[in-house]
Homo-oligomer: A and B are copies of this chain.
Amino acid sequence: MTTAANPRIGTISQFDGQTITLNGWVFNKRSSGKIKFLMLRDGSGIIQGVLVKGECNDAAFEGFDALTQESSVVVTGKVRAEPRSKIGYELTVLDVKPVQIADAYPISPKDHGVEFLMENRHLWIRSQRQWAALRVRSEIFFAIQDFFRTRGFIRFDPPILSATSCEGTSTLFQTPYFDEKAFLTQSGQLYGEAGAFAFGNIYTFGPTFRAEKSKTRKHLTEFWMVEPEMAFAKLNDVMDLGEAFVCHIVKHCLDHCQKELVILERNQKELETIVAPFPRITYDEALKILEKRGHAIPWGEDFGAPHETALGEEFGKPVFIHHFPSSIKAFYFKNADDPNGEGVDHDGKYALGADLIAPFGYGEIIGGGQREDKVDVLERRIKEHGLNLKDYQWYLDLRRFGSAPHAGFGLGVERTVAWVTGVEHVRETIPFPRMINTIRP
């Protein structure tokens, strides 16, 4: 078993001067007369192995030519500090035992079309950029859990299958469920609210689904969301928490994903500027900025990709937009009468929502706000939105039995990974992306 104690390339400095055995795959190779070079990858990194005739086992030296790209091998060698190496070490190879000689590997350094790479996603993930992006993803998952646990938030997993929908029914996947039908969740928020009243502060963290036909670089049909929900909290608490959360994620990646960000050629200087405070502007103020930048929209319309990009450009760092027209927000938002208002117990013109727009066109990465906490107002909204009141009785109960101001948000994990890693399309931020035309492999 490859445990922390076993030699791996990712922790090779621990084995300086030692003769070790590495299990891995042939990433690349070249010959130069009596010296042969083997680029070995083991999943934790890549190291250059040097085979010198006489020094290396004869059979291994002769067998070198038969090793194809991605062949699996067991390599024994001596770890040697090498300043010219990217990782600071090389391996003086003593022996190479092939495990399986790979068939002709379909992915070469030449440019392949995206369609071909997506069909070979199970192999593409071995390529450097994909490998690096998914390792950053793994670290971001850790950073998320770490952030909330440290702050006393309880992880609260909402159901994936449910008879109730969260945000309207037009983009729902559904499955027969014994004698009934069930929807795949679009958001765990409604359940998270129940959790907040039981645990104070919770976060949900799981896959969510949207049967959207959008073919953009920001849309997946299956994506992970993390959704904190806080009892006794208001709109400003959403922005405070979201700001601290995003800064924590970026800092964690800068601290723990150095080699991955280098492979991805991510501008780290840019990431270093992502520190609190983030600008906070109202929707009304955003409209003025958009007008100034030549992207005017009428009051009451939602932002599209060009508007989000323009707002990102204006500030060069994540920006919160709050106090949206209530007409473009879901039924559960608490409303206010004025664009800086604190909430009213009737239908105001503004929803106490706050979205965080990432810079550089990565779009909305946080959407959240304060929830309506009055049972009569909420009941009326549910009816007005044409939803079935019976399905929401349990949700209304949360306002009947110890209601309180409460608020929360959802952060889209893949968009966040895309922004932090700088990859162009969210399909490269999840092992096996699901999109309108992509359900295999």
Contacts and interface: CB of A to CB of B under 8 A. Distances in A.
Interface stretch (A3-11, A109-117, A328-336): A3-11
Contact of A154 (B135, B402, B439): B135
Interface string A136-156: 011001100100011110111
Interface string A153-193: 01111111111100000000111111010101000000100
Interface in A101-131: 102-103, 105, 120-123, 125-126, 130-131
A431 B141 contact: no
A347 interface: no
Interface stretch (A196-204, A280-288, A304-312, A355-363): A196-204
B135 A142 contact: no
A157 B430 contact: yes
Contacts of A404: 23, 72, 99-100
A233 B164 contact: no
Interface in A304-343: none
15 contacts: A8-B152, A8-B200, A23-B200, A25-B197, A44-B199, A72-B404, A99-B404, A100-B404, A120-B394, A159-B433, A160-B209, A161-B434, A162-B439, A177-B221, A394-B440
Given A123-B397, A160-B207, A401-B70, A142 B141 contact: no
Contacts of A440: 162-164, 394
Contact of A222 (B71, B159, B209): B159
A230 B3 CA distance: 10
B2 A431 contact: no
A20 to B, nearest CB: 14
Interface in A373-398: 373, 394-395, 397-398
A295 interface: no
Copies in the complex: 2
Interface of A: 1-4, 8, 10-11, 23-26, 42-44, 70-72, 74, 99-100, 102-103, 105, 120-123, 125-126, 130-131, 134-135, 137-138, 141-142, 145, 149-152, 154-164, 173-178, 180, 182, 184, 191, 194-201, 206-207, 209, 211, 213, 221-222, 224, 230-233, 237, 240-241, 373, 394-395, 397-405, 430-434, 436-437, 439-441
A232 B401 contact: no
A116 B42 CA distance: 54
A147 to B, nearest CB: 11
B154 A394 contact: no
B2 A150 contact: no
A108 to B, nearest CB: 13
B200 A44 contact: yes
B131 A44 contact: no
Contacts of A145: 141-142, 145
A434 B398 contact: no
A141 B42 CA distance: 28
B397 A224 contact: no
B156 A138 contact: yes
Contacts of A123: 194, 397, 401
Given A134-B156, A163-B440, 13 more contacts: A2-B231, A8-B200, A11-B152, A23-B200, A24-B200, A70-B402, A72-B404, A103-B400, A125-B195, A134-B199, A138-B154, A173-B176, A182-B439
